């Protein structure tokens, strides 16, 4: 696992190796991504590398007392449940996502803006 703040492009067919989970944190925040227990700041913490759109974001460290629930899942399940739009992210992550090159997905499609082709689902038919 990386301990840098770099954003890593992710291919759903070649997900980075590791343990994945859906992590619920105090404050009604949900993080979905690769996890590991690390020793940071003199204590054991959960490091989450959240998935967002087609990216794996830099690490977020969560103290044990802030964890509400950790549900381990496969990389494929994490990919399916990842946030795809900026408004789905906790505000602290939305602030750093602004550094990613233009995503074109900050607003939901029902507001009349086009949805990037990467997120279209032809199996449902019609527009998203």
Give the total residue count for the chain.
128
With a pLDDT cut of 70, the percent of the chain lying above it is: 72
Q: Which of 38, 1, 116, 73 is nearest to 30 (CA)?
A: 73
Which pLDDT score is estimated for 100? 65
Q: For 111-121, what is each residue's pLDDT tens digit?
A: 665 555 555 55
Class of domain 8-120: mainly beta
**With 70 as the cut, is the pLDDT of residue 50 above it?**
yes
Q: Which of 46, 18, 58 is nearest to 34 (CA)?
A: 18
User: Which pLDDT band holds residue 4 (cuts at 50, 70, 90)?
Assistant: very low
Average pLDDT, the chain: 82
Which pLDDT score is estimated for 116? 56
């Amino acid at each position: 696992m990386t301990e840098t703040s770099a954003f890593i492009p992710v291919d759903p067919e070649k997900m980075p190796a590791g343990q994945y989970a859906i992590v619920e944190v105090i404050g009604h925040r949900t993080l979905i991504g690769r996890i590991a227990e690390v020793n940071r700041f003199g204590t054991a913490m959960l490091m989450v590398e959240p998935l967002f759109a087609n990216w794996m974001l830099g690490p977020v460290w969560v103290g044990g007392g802030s964890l509400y629930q950790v549900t381990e899942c496969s990389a494929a399940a994490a990919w399916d449940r990842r946030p795809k739009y900026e408004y789905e992210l906790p505000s602290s992550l939305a602030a750093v996502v602004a550094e990613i090159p233009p995503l074109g997905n900050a607003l939901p499609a029902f507001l009349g803006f086009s949805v990037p082709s990467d997120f279209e689902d032809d199996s449902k038919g019609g527009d998203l």
